[in-house]
């Protein structure tokens, strides 16, 4: 089981706070540190609160850390032209010395799209946009010149130089929950982040997680995938009281097929819980 920390949402954080948390997560032994891709937090918008843009934030964290892997979970494909985002990601991979985890999804927060002037098409179209964005990203990372003509996006003899440091490319994570997104993950990705929670935002039960992963298994079989997708999930996490509660939850998820668990600690206690994790959480999965 790989353990990481996610700042989700990033609203309400100053850069100095996120940077310190990432450095402390690295020192405590977490494998990865992730940020969300949003322009404001909550519903109705919160313009009086900080909400740092994901890719510039990741580039800065790449300079402030040395070992921990870094990712966006997940970047909405419509927020940036996919070719530009592929170029940005390649740059972050270089800046970080090859530590990028590339997370991307079909997007969901309609209010944010409307506020920033983006079209918000129906779910099927957003998944189509994700598929085209993945095609463009992979071609830019592997081909000297990439050409792709899709319904939503196109590139013509586009160059991504330098290519990402990691070979054959940075790990691609697709986030979501539906069968079409799972099929895209089986075709294009290295990992799938299960972006699903229980009723009212409650934790998934191990049974609910296992059921979702059976759907993912079917998508892999249908797509004749040879190598199993890595499975990731984040949820609200705490070390209040006995750490055994969180350890047992993660172990139960491992039994349901999870490979990576990301801790979303409450902001006011995140620094303390990251520090405590060195002794109370990390050793349980070493």
What are the domain boundaries of the chain? 2-285
Q: Which residues contact 191 (CB under 8 A, 6 or more apart)?
A: 171, 172, 173, 174, 185, 229, 230, 231, 232, 259, 260
Under a CB-based contact definition with an 8 Å cutoff, are residues 5 and 272 in contact?
no
Check residue 201 and give its pLDDT.
Answer: 83
**Which residues, at least 6 apart from 177, have a Cβ–Cβ distance to it below 8 Å?**
194, 195, 196, 212
Asked if 207 contacts 246 with a C-beta cutoff of 8 angstroms, the reply is no
pLDDT in tens, 180-212: 999 999 999 999 999 998 888 899 999 999 999
Q: Given 3.40.50.1370, 3.30.470.20, 3.20.20.30, 3.40.50.300, which CATH number is that of 2-285?
A: 3.20.20.30
pLDDT score, position 48: 62
Mean pLDDT of 212-241: 95
Q: What DSSP state is assigned to residue 69?
A: E
For residue 251, the model assigns a pLDDT of: 98
By 3-state DSSP, what share of the chain in percent is helix, strand and coil, each rounded to 5? 45, 20, 35
Q: For 31-68, how does the pLDDT look when each residue is reduced to its tens digit (9 = 90+)?
A: 999 999 999 877 665 566 788 999 999 999 999 999 99
pLDDT one-digit tens code per residue, 125-145: 999 999 999 999 999 999 999
pTM recorded for the entire structure: 0.96
Where does residue 100 rank: exposed (0-12), middle (13-18), buried (19+ CB within 10 A)?
buried
Q: Determine how β-strand 154-158 pairs with β-strand 146-149.
A: antiparallel
Q: Would you give the end-to-end CA distance of the chain in angstroms?
A: 8
Nearest to 94 by CA among 123, 124, 63, 72: 63
Residue 234, beta-bridge partner list: 262
Cα separation values, 280 from 25, 201, 263, Å: 13, 26, 13
């Amino acid at each position: 089981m790989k353990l990481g920390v996610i700042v989700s949402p990033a609203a309400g954080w100053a850069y100095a706070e996120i940077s310190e948390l990432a450095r402390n997560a690295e020192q405590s032994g977490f494998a990865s540190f992730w940020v969300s891709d949003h322009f404001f937090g909550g519903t109705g918008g919160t313009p009086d609160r900080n909400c740092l843009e994901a890719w510039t934030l990741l580039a800065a964290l790449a300079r402030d850390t040395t070992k921990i892997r870094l990712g966006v979970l997940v970047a909405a494909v419509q927020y940036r032209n996919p070719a530009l985002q592929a170029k940005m990601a390649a740059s972050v991979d270089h800046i970080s010395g090859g530590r990028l985890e590339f997370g991307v999804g079909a997007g969901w927060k309609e209010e944010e799209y409307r506020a920033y002037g983006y079209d918000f098409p129906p779910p099927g179209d957003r998944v189509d946009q994700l598929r085209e964005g993945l095609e463009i990203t992979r071609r830019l990372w592997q081909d000297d010149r990439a050409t792709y003509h899709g319904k939503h996006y196109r590139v013509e003899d586009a160059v991504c130089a330098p290519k990402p440091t990691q070979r054959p490319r940075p790990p691609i994570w697709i986030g979501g929950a539906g069968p079409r997104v799972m099929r895209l993950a089986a075709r294009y990705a290295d990992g799938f982040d299960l972006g699903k929670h229980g009723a009212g935002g409650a934790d998934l039960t191990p049974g609910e997680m296992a059921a979702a992963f059976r759907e993912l298994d079917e998508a892999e079989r249908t797509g004749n995938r040879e190598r199993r997708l890595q499975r990731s999930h984040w949820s609200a996490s705490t070390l209040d009281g006995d750490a055994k509660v969180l350890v047992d939850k993660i172990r139960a998820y491992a039994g349901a097929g999870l490979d990576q668990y990301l801790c979303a600690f409450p902001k006011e206690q995140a620094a303390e819980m990251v520090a405590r994790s060195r002794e109370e959480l990390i050793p349980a999965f070493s």
